[in-house]
Amino acid sequence: MAVRPILRMGHSLLRAVAKPVTEDQWAALPTLVEDMLDTMRAARGVGLAAPQIGVDWRVVVFGFERSERYPDAPPIPLTILVNPVWSFLGSEEEEGWEGCLSVPGLRGWVPRAVHLRYAGWGLDRVFFEREVEGFHARVVQHECDHLDGVLYPARVRDFSRFGFIEELFPDPDQRPESD
Ligand code: NI
């Protein structure tokens, strides 16, 4: 078990395009993934990308039974995704609140594709593909954005809905999530 420090917005690795995991790097993946899961859970996040702990590989983890950060969100199966590919299904978008462990204390109102197909390799080296929608699709887009050096603030269009959570939601009961 190793909870690793999470890089914050401004660190150059969070702006870099991560590299595909190569054949000879697979042996190191179980340890990396374990650290990512430990770090994600310790921070009570719903997802984490390898660059957030300083590793420039195309690996993301996400999923939860019930999230304190997103109490109304439907569960997402715990997923480890190596070298993911993804595509939007249709042009429908919806907006929703997002936070990021690399942007602590802030929230933004972010448009995302509603319907998404994604695929990649699991830790068992089996390739799989899913079609998902809604919050599941949002989380995958958020995490995969990290692999291309994109943080959610770059997706915000309405900057009246981007800021510190205590300022956006003075009433704690109205907050969409808590840090
Ligand atoms: Ni994030």
Give counts: helices (H), strands (E), the chain: 3, 8
Domain 12-174 indexed as CATH 2.40.10.10: no
Catalytic residue, chosen from 92, 94, 131, 143, is: 143
CA–centroid distance, residue 44 to ligand 1 (Å)? 12
DSSP H or E segment with residue 147? helix 134-147
Sites in the chain below the pLDDT cut of 70: 177-179
> What is the three-class DSSP state of 118?
strand
CA–centroid distance, residue 100 to ligand 1 (Å)? 4
CA–centroid distance, residue 142 to ligand 1 (Å)? 6
Give tens-digit pLDDT for 110-146: 999 999 999 999 999 999 999 999 999 999 999 999 9
Would you state the torsion angle of the CA atoms of residues 120, 55, 37, 130, taken in this order, to the nearest 10 degrees?
-10
- Give percent of the chain above pLDDT 70: 98
Q: Which residues have CB under 8 Å from 84's CB, separation 6+? A: 58, 60, 118, 119, 120, 140, 144, 147
pLDDT score, position 118: 98
pTM for the whole structure: 0.94
Is 94 catalytic? The answer is no
pLDDT score, position 178: 46
CA–centroid distance, residue 106 to ligand 1 (Å)? 11
Residue pair 31/53 in contact (Cβ under 8 Å)? The answer is no
In the Cβ-directed half-sphere of 79, how many Cα atoms lie within 13 Å?
A: 27
Q: Which residues have CB under 8 Å from 15's CB, separation 6+? A: 149
CA–centroid distance, residue 92 to ligand 1 (Å)? 22
